[in-house]
Amino acid sequence: MEKTNQLFLAEKYQAAAVELLKYYRNRVNIRHLDFNIDDRQKYAGKKLAKDVMEMADNALLHQLKPHKSYPYFDYGKTIDWQKAPVPDALIRTFLHRTNWWQQMGLAYWSTGDEKYASEWVFQLRDWIKSNQMGAYKDDKEYAWKAFVVSFRLNNWSGYFNMFINSPNFTPEFLMEFLNSYHQQAEYVKSNYTDIGNHRLFEALHLLCAGSSFPELKGSQSWRKSGIEVLNQEITKQVYPDGMQYELSTSYHIGTINIFLNALKIAQLAKLGNEFPESYRALVEKMVMAVINFSFPDYTFPLYGDSFLTNKNIMLKNYDNWSQLFPHNKYIRYFSTDTKSGTVLPYLSQSLPVAGFYTFRSGWDRNSTVMVLKASPPAFFHAHPDNGTFELWVKGRNFTPDAGSYVYNDDSKINNKKSVVQIYKGTPNLNFE
């Protein structure tokens, strides 16, 4: 960085950009949670899953699939970043998260074909050019909604590492990328959502931004802001019994992963001490709450806006949680599929503040388990479903809740938040 600074002070800006790109291509001390430059070796020549390659190849044609629950849509030769192919606000916000660039990056690592890197550079430049703040009247609902911007910060820091060694990643493009990234991080810091899990995501992703690009002028303030918000919000959003206050079982698990990923990022940046022991203890209590409201097959009641899961997904979650709490023999029991650790020493249990009550005859698949919800008023992803219970007997759930269906902004529906209830009996489409 010293040489880059010397060239910059000498007003040799092109040479400084060239030197800065060299620095980033050889940077090894900054680690990302998902994708690092040296991960490319693990993918080189490796055959990717069919759906990954399909998404990457379709993206070359601007056939995009912003959300997994919808098919591919044609966004045009010149990408129409305001297109609304269906009357669902979710697909428009997901478009601006640019998730499909991950598949393009994996395809690039796997094949080495520069067409993926070239198209990624084109699309990112096109996004920046077409989505300047104020470019269209509802941009703060989609492209410049702080929650969505924060996801771009998180995503783009990983994609940066995936494409940094491409010859298409020029010094000029590096400057465009970093300028846009800095602008977006500053925007999130100044436009946090007031309350709810969106605020948590924004703080997490701002911490990620500051840790991924510590060279940028605002990085220290981004890290500090993210950590402060997370430390404040965990005591606001998590009840003393360990349940997240939206009282959605799926969003509870998602919130656990936000808090733990923040710890991981901070540890990688040598900032782990910025989170007090009370923070870690409350997250651990959140994991224990999952164990208490779950069935023996690792599934759980779909209270609130919740989504179908399966044992494999939950085993990965428990493994992740166990790594952060290796001393907890109960979490280890579930992370190892009951092969190690210790089963809980009790059967029935309550989460009294959240109003979740579990009655069980045992912990194995032959057990009978009933989970009753009798909760206080909740927010956002909660449903008015007090009195709901799910009864699981010998491997079968006899009274399953339908969980979440879809978010929709159809103007014909007066109360948009009632959409989930309208579709309460409809098969779950696994939205998130």
Active site residues: 251
Count the Cβ atoms, other than its own, within 10 Å of residue 227.
22
β-partners of residue 74 are 63
Ramachandran region of residue 74, left (φ > 0), alpha (ψ -120 to 50) or beta? beta
Q: How many Å apart are CA 56 and CA 105, to the nearest integer?
A: 8
148 Cβ partners below 8 Å, 6+ apart? 93, 96, 97, 142
Report the phi/psi class of residue 427: left, alpha or beta, with left for phi > 0 and alpha for psi in -120 to 50.
Answer: beta
Q: 61-66 long-range CB contacts below 8 Å, 24 or more apart?
A: 64/95, 64/100, 65/100, 66/91, 66/92, 66/94, 66/95, 66/97, 66/99, 66/100
Three-class SS string for 352-385? Answer: CCCCEEEEECCCCCCCEEEEEECCCCCCCCCCCC
Check residue 390 and report its DSSP letter.
Answer: E
State the CB neighbour count (10 A cutoff) for residue 157: 21
Helix 249-268 × helix 277-293 angle, to 10° = 150
Phi, psi of 397 (to 5 degrees): -95, 115
In 10 A of CB 209, how many CB atoms? 29
Tokens of 355: 């109003």
End-to-end CA distance of the chain: 41
- Indicate the pairing of strand 356-360 with strand 389-393: unpaired
| CA gap 30, 213 in Å, rounded | 8
Q: What is the DSSP string of 302-349?
A: --SS-----HHHHHHHHHHHHHH-TT-HHHHHHHTTTSSS---S-S-E
Residue at 353: amino acid letter: V
Is the Cβ–Cβ distance between 359 and 373 less than 8 Å? no
